[in-house]
Amino acid sequence: MWQYLTDSYNWSGNEGIWARIVQHLWYTFAALGLSVVIALPIGLRIGHTRRGAFLAINLGNAARALPSLGLLMIAVLLTNQIGFLPVLIALVALGIPPILASTYAGLSGVDPATIDAARGMGMTGREILTKVEIPIALPLIISGVRSATLQIVSTATIAALVSLGGLGRYVVDGLKLRDFPQMFSGALLVALLAIVLDAIFALIGRITVSPGLNAR
């Protein structure tokens, strides 16, 4: 395995490790961005109006039971193509529930007295949302995006099953060729990528969360 990873030949070029990492990150962030764009407004709306809470809670739970591989295969067979689109659909389907559920949970956890106080100060609904509810809910929203990222980055590995690139290529090709060092290298790189992304989100969480929330 070390031999594979330390051979500079394997790192460069169109099918080198760097290129695969970039592809992997591209699938991850495309899916993550789309998930956020879809899930965040819905989660904020449900959390702000408190309507549809049942949906938000149960969607989060049910989604944990969804087998990602089956989702991808269904997306492939329904769109009738292999490639980026079905992968994107499957990854977005995995990314939406954690973001939606935690955005709702974050907003619903805001103390009603705080919201009353904001209203008493003359804030409009929009101001309450952007200046009170979102900042207070931010730690939970970020942790939702964080778990969506982990889900997506590890599932992006299976994109290789449907002829895409990314780090999953090493796993799938290695398996086919019985080239186990290549498989291990791919798996290890995915794990490292997940850990790095997780650390980045932990850092973002620490930087963006209002200092007022940590003060006792």
Partner 1 sequence: MNWIGDNLGLIWEALREHLYLAIVPVILGLIISVPLGYVATRYSWLANPLIAFGGVLYSLPSIALFIVIPAILGTKVLATINIIVALTIYTVSLLIRNVIDGLRSVPPDVRQSAIAVGYSPLHRVITVDLPIAVPVIFTGLRVVTVANISMVSVGAVIGIGGLGELFTLGFQKDFLTPVVVGVVLSLLLALCADLILVTLQRLLTPWARVATPVGEVA
Determine the Cα–Cα distance for residues 39 and 10; give it in Å rounded to an integer: 38
Near partner 1 in 68-87, by CB under 8 A: 68-74, 76-78
Task: Quickly list DSSP for 27-63.
Answer: HHHHHHHHHHHHHHHHHHHHHHH--SHHHHHHHHHHH
Helix (H, G, I), strand (E, B) or coil at 125: helix
- For the window 86-125, what string marks contact with partner 1 as x by the rule CB under 8 A? ----------------------------------------
Contacts of 5 (CB under 8 A, 6+ apart): 17, 185, 188
For residue 34, the one-letter residue type is: L
Q: Which stretch binds partner 1 (CB under 8 A): 98-106, 113-121, 155-163, 206-214?
A: 155-163
**DSSP 8-class letter at 8:** G
Say if residues 197 and 148 touch (Cβ distance below 8 Å). Answer: no
Q: Is 36 in the site for partner 1 (CB under 8 A)?
A: no
Determine the Cα–Cα distance for residues 72 and 161; give it in Å rounded to an integer: 9
Q: Is 171 in the site for partner 1 (CB under 8 A)?
A: yes
Binds partner 1 by CB under 8 A, chosen from 191, 200, 204, 213: 191
Determine the Cα–Cα distance for residues 12 and 199; give it in Å rounded to an integer: 26
Binds partner 1 by CB under 8 A, chosen from 15, 18, 33, 66: 66
Q: Is 177 in the site for partner 1 (CB under 8 A)?
A: no
Binds partner 1 by CB under 8 A, chosen from 25, 38, 198, 205: 198
- In angstroms, what is the minimal distance from the CB of 96 to partner 1? 16
Binding site for partner 1 (CB under 8 A): 1, 61-62, 64-74, 76-78, 150, 153-155, 157-158, 161-162, 168, 171-172, 175, 180, 183-184, 186-188, 190-191, 194-195, 198
